[in-house]
């Protein structure tokens, strides 16, 4: 689908800008005209969530159509493992080695952490560990794995939901009901802002909204005008919420609980509009080669960008220690370039061999040419 790699690129660029400011504790007053963009950078993760829910649910629906029934769960989880785990474990190991280098300490920490901490990282429940247990190494490059935990927890449950609930209308209706329950859970939770932001049972609706967008996609794209109108209205609402401070990096409980739902809705509307309107100006803008290239390796960039920011900061401040927009721009551009280069190298030399194995777990693998089960769904899971 044209433009979706461009949305991936926008998501990772927003995240990098956000962490360039927060990791270096760059003063907001010095950001000048970049401040609104940087302040909204945390929402890049929500855009990733919406894209993930939309795309993977689309693939599940296509497989259901191909098979004429529920998806092959073993094949689904094999594809997920091949896509996510190799790069994740490689970077996790590099983070462990990086604790020996003082220059990387602001990103990866100075110690390897405790056994339980590493078990949580290896088994994808570190978002709960870092909230409920005392971490020996609460390094930024490890804390950011919370989003991967939320995503994997969602996909442990979502395929089973789709196997049990078969009617399209029931899937959408129950999905919307679950989104409302997540909102209520955030409002009622006694936990702090960090927990509300990162714990799966309070956050999975950000992916679920994207999945609902996929469930209703065929009906949504048949409309001529109203998808654009909805996107425009939500864009105005989100811009207003950010401008008034309702949405911020440190919101109040009500603002955070409700704001996360608004951001998820906006991101889903954006993804659905781009996917449904391949000839639109917005889609054409997102489909330029540089953004497609960045979007292709955005997962690796997410895993590696903290380390790149620390290195870029060390290089730039060696020549200029002033807190100016020029220094911030230099750090951001250098960090983006370094992250892209490292992620591209990892993608070509390490990830690609594992990704090629996914063909063995596609619907109809090994079927005779021209058979009814030979087509494979488009897109990447």
pLDDT digits (tens, 9 = 90+) for 185-224: 999 999 888 899 999 999 999 999 999 999 999 887 776 5
Q: In this predicted model, what pLDDT tens digit does every residue of 340-372 receive, in sequence order?
A: 999 999 999 999 999 999 999 987 665 444 443
- Is the per-residue pLDDT at 373 higher than 60? no
Note whether 301 and 345 are within 8 A (CB).
no
SS3 72: coil
**Cβ partners under 8 Å of residue 266, min gap 6:** 234, 235, 237, 238
**Measured distance CA(62)–CA(171) in Å, rounded:** 16
CA neighbours closer than 13 Å in the CB half-sphere of residue 105: 6
* Res 368: pLDDT: 43
Q: Whole-model pTM?
A: 0.92
- Is the per-residue pLDDT at 95 higher than 80? yes
Beta strands in the chain (DSSP E): none
Question: Please, what sign has the CA dihedral across residues 24, 28, 30, 36?
Answer: positive
């Amino acid at each position: 689908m044209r433009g979706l790699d461009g949305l991936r690129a926008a998501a990772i660029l927003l995240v990098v800008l956000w962490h360039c400011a927060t990791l270096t504790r760059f003063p907001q007053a010095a950001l000048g005209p970049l401040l609104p963009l940087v302040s909204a950078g945390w929402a890049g993760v929500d855009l990733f969530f919406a894209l993930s829910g939309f795309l993977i649910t689309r693939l599940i629906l296509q497989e259901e159509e191909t098979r004429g029934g529920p998806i092959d769960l073993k094949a689904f989880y094999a594809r997920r493992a091949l896509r996510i785990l190799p790069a994740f474990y490689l970077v996790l190991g590099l983070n462990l080695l990086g604790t020996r280098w003082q220059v990387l300490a602001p990103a990866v920490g100075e110690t390897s952490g405790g056994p339980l901490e590493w078990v949580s990282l290896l088994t994808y429940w570190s978002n709960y560990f870092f909230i409920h247990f005392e971490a020996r190494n609460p390094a930024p490059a490890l804390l950011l794995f919370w989003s991967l935990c939320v995503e994997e927890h969602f996909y442990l449950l979502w395929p089973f939901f789709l196997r049990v609930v078969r009617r399209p209308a029931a899937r959408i209706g129950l999905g919307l009901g679950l989104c409302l329950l997540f909102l209520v859970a955030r409002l009622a939770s006694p936990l702090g802002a960090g927990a509300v932001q990162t714990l799966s049972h309070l956050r999975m609706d950000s992916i679920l909204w994207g999945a609902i967008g996929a469930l209703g996609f065929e009906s949504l794209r048949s409309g001529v005008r109203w998808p654009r109108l909805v996107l425009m209205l939500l864009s105005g609402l989100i811009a207003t919420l950010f401008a008034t401070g309702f949405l911020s990096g440190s919101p109040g409980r009500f603002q955070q609980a409700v704001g996360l739902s608004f951001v998820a809705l906006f991101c889903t509307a954006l993804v659905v509009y781009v996917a449904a309107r391949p000839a639109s100006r917005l889609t054409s803008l997102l489909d330029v080669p540089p953004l497609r290239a960045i979007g292709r390796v955005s997962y690796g960039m997410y895993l590696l960008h903290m380390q790149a920011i620390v290195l870029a900061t060390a290089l730039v401040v060696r020549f200029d220690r002033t807190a100016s927009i020029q220094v911030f721009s230099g750090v951001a551009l250098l960090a983006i370039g370094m992250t892209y280069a490292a992620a591209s190298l990892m993608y070509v030399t390490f990830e690609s061999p594992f990704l090629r194995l996914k063909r063995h777990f596609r619907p109809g693998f090994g079927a005779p040419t021209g058979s009814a089960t030979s087509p494979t769904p488009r897109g990447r899971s």
